[in-house]
Chain A
Amino acid sequence: MKTFKTLIIIFHLLCFNNLYANENSERNEITKNLRCLICQGQSVYDSDSDFANSMKILVDKKLNEGLSDKEIYSYFKEKYGDWILYDPGLNKNTYLLWLLPILIFLFGGAIIVKSFIFKK
């Protein structure tokens, strides 16, 4: 009887392996990269506004239809513009945003090289 009880306890402990706190991880990944337009500064994932909740339902629907995350992003981009994405693509409006860090890095690197290496 005692071994039977321990077996039952072990069996139930093993069952917890299948529990995840986060069951719709793909949807969460996508909604974390979408900006909520009502409470700006929050992602759709974080927000609990009416708009964000509808967005979550729509993302689920699109995933069920078999769309990939990139297709979903471009779908929302077409509707609301680049601003809805936290990670905007490279285009004529955002090239400064993407290239400025690289330029600053190169510029700073040039200063360092000039003042430390060539001085010697």
Chain B
Amino acid sequence: MKQKLVPYSIIVIFFVIFLVFYKSLKDTNIYTPEVKINNDIPIFSAERLLSNESLDSKEIFQLDKFYILNIWSSWCAPCRDEHSILMDLSKSNKFIVIGMNYKDNKKNAKSFLDELGNPYEKIIIDKNGTKSIEWGAFGVPETFIIYNNKIIKKYIGPLNQELFLEIQNLTK
């Protein structure tokens, strides 16, 4: 009995190891941070893109309104793709779209908006990338939906038609 136990346990151990490795073959190693919902928005003050004045977060986000904060940059290609969606969202009058210009230079950012249109009611500048980290973002584009000073939804990567409909349904 004891002699049989050893080969059996070896087979079982190898089988378990095989299963673990086989399963992790398909797992992705890229970690995207879990989306934390209902976090309070950070308090900050930032310079505006189209004028030289600075803005406080309290002046931007008011209660009982839906806001979309979109982190974008003129050098970011996916931002170009999602721009038409943002234009549509700003036209729908359900949301106030705020832009955060990430690590960009003013001239390029302005010509980007001249070319594709400006969906943003206000645009703030994040010159060194620290403000977007305070929001919990780690790249461009990222989009936050804000209601009553809380982040109710967050999208990493460009928006598309599907997400457009999802965002539209959030206000209901």
Contacts and interface: CB of A to CB of B under 8 A. Distances in A.
Contact of B29 (A40, A57, A61, A80): A40
Nearest to A83: B31
Q: DSSP class of A's interface residues: helix, strand, loop or mixed?
A: helix
Interface residues of B, number: 18
Interface residues of A, number: 17
Given A40-B30, A83-B31, A51 B139 contact: yes
Interface stretch (B14-22, B115-123, B126-134): B126-134
A116 to B, nearest CB: 19
B136 interface: yes
Contacts of B80: none
B139 A81 contact: no
B139 A84 contact: no
Contact of B138 (A37, A57, A78): A37
B133 A54 contact: yes
B7 interface: no
Given A37-B138, A38-B138, A79-B136, A54 B130 contact: yes
A57 B33 contact: no
B103 interface: yes
B27 interface: no
A84 B139 CA distance: 15
Interface in B23-42: 29-31, 33-34, 36, 39
Contacts of A80: 33, 136, 138
20 contacts: A40-B29, A40-B30, A40-B31, A50-B129, A51-B139, A53-B128, A53-B129, A54-B128, A54-B129, A54-B133, A55-B133, A58-B133, A58-B134, A78-B36, A78-B39, A79-B33, A79-B36, A79-B135, A80-B138, A81-B36
